[in-house]
C-alpha cells in the first residue's frame, strides 16, 4: 500500500514538473509567435498572481495592462482601469476583480479604452481617478466607456534613458523586460533599486503572464 502511495506521489510530482517546465513553456512560445498573441505596441497583457492581503491570508490579484511603448528591451505597460463615478468611488488598487478579468478577456477588443495623460488625472475638483467635467471635455469618448489607461506624450516615447540620473526612477516605472515576456512569459521589471553604477537591473520580482491579446 505504501509503495502504491509513493508511486502515486512521485507520478504527480513528475506530471507537475513536466507541465510546468516543458508543456507550459512550449505552449507559451507557440502562442507568442502567432499574430493574435505576439507582443507588440498596443497589446493587452493579462496577468494574475497570488499574494497576501491585509489580513495575512492569500488572495488572487488580477491585472490587465496595455503596452504603450517598446524601446529595445524596455516594454512600458499601463494598467487598464475604470474611472470612478462621482458618487461611487473605487479603490485605487491597480488590480481588478475575477469577474471583470474574465469579462475583459472576452470583450477587450470591442471596448472603448481611452488613453489619458498622467497629469490630466490630477485636474478638476473631484477626487483623483474620478470622472469629472475636465476629463469629459478633453476626452468626450469617456461618455461611452470609463475604461482608460495612463499614457505618456508621444514626444516622450522611444527617447531612451534620460540623461539626468534623478529621472531614472520615474523613467523605469512600469517598464518590463521584452526578452522575459517573449521567452519566459513573465513580467520582470527593470529597476534602479540597488544599482550602484546608474545602470538598470532586472528585479527578482516577477508576475506570470496569463495571455496576450492584440
| Contact yes or no for 148/135 (Cβ under 8 A) | no
112 with 43, same domain? yes
15 with 58, same domain? no
β pairing state of 58-71 and 81-82: unpaired
pLDDT at 163 over 90: no
91 with 182, same domain? yes
Residue pLDDT, tens place only, 62-89: 999 999 999 999 999 999 999 988 776 6
Which sign, positive or negative, has the C-alpha torsion 84, 90, 94, 96?
negative
**Mean pLDDT over the full length of the chain:** 84
202 with 168, same domain? yes
Distances (CA, A) of 118 to 46, 85, 122, 148, 152: 22, 19, 8, 11, 7
Grid coordinates in use for 115?
488613453
107 with 15, same domain? no
24 with 66, same domain? no
- Tell me the average pLDDT across 33-58: 82
- 2-6, 61-65, 104-108: range with lowest mean pLDDT: 2-6
Residue labelled with grid coordinates 471596448: 111
pLDDT at residue 25, rounded to an integer: 63
Residue 45: pLDDT band with limits 50, 70, 90: very high
17 with 65, same domain? no
133 with 203, same domain? yes
Domains identified in the chain, total number: 2
70 with 27, same domain? no
Angle at 156 between CA 150 and CA 160, to 5 degrees: 115
Domain extent, residue 8, equals 1-33
44 with 150, same domain? yes
pLDDT at residue 54, rounded to an integer: 60
185 with 123, same domain? yes
Percent above pLDDT 90 for the chain? 47
Grid coordinates in use for 176?
518590463
8 with 106, same domain? no
41 — phi, psi (to 5°)?
-60, 130
Amino acid at each position: 500500500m505504501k509503495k502504491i502511495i509513493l508511486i502515486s506521489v512521485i507520478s504527480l510530482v513528475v506530471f507537475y514538473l513536466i507541465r510546468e517546465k516543458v508543456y507550459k513553456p512550449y505552449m507559451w512560445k507557440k502562442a507568442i509567435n502567432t499574430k493574435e498573441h505576439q507582443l507588440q505596441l498596443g497589446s493587452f497583457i493579462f496577468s494574475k498572481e497570488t499574494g497576501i492581503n491585509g489580513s495575512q491570508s492569500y488572495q488572487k490579484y488580477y491585472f490587465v495592462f496595455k503596452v504603450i511603448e517598446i524601446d529595445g528591451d524596455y516594454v512600458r505597460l499601463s494598467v487598464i482601469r475604470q474611472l470612478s463615478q462621482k458618487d461611487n468611488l473605487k479603490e485605487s488598487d491597480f488590480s481588478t476583480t475575477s469577474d471583470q478579468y474574465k469579462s475583459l478577456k472576452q470583450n477587450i477588443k470591442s471596448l472603448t479604452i481611452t488613453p489619458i495623460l498622467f497629469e490630466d488625472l490630477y485636474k478638476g475638483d473631484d477626487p483623483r481617478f474620478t470622472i469629472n467635467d475636465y476629463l469629459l471635455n478633453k476626452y468626450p469618448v469617456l461618455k461611452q466607456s470609463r475604461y482608460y489607461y495612463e499614457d505618456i506624450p508621444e514626444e516622450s516615447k522611444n527617447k531612451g534613458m534620460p540623461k539626468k540620473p534623478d529621472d531614472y526612477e520615474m523613467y523605469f516605472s512600469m517598464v518590463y523586460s521584452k526578452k522575459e515576456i517573449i521567452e519566459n512569459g513573465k513580467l520582470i521589471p527593470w529597476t534602479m533599486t540597488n544599482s550602484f553604477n546608474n545602470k538598470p537591473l532586472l528585479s527578482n520580482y516577477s508576475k506570470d503572464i496569463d495571455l496576450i491579446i492584440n
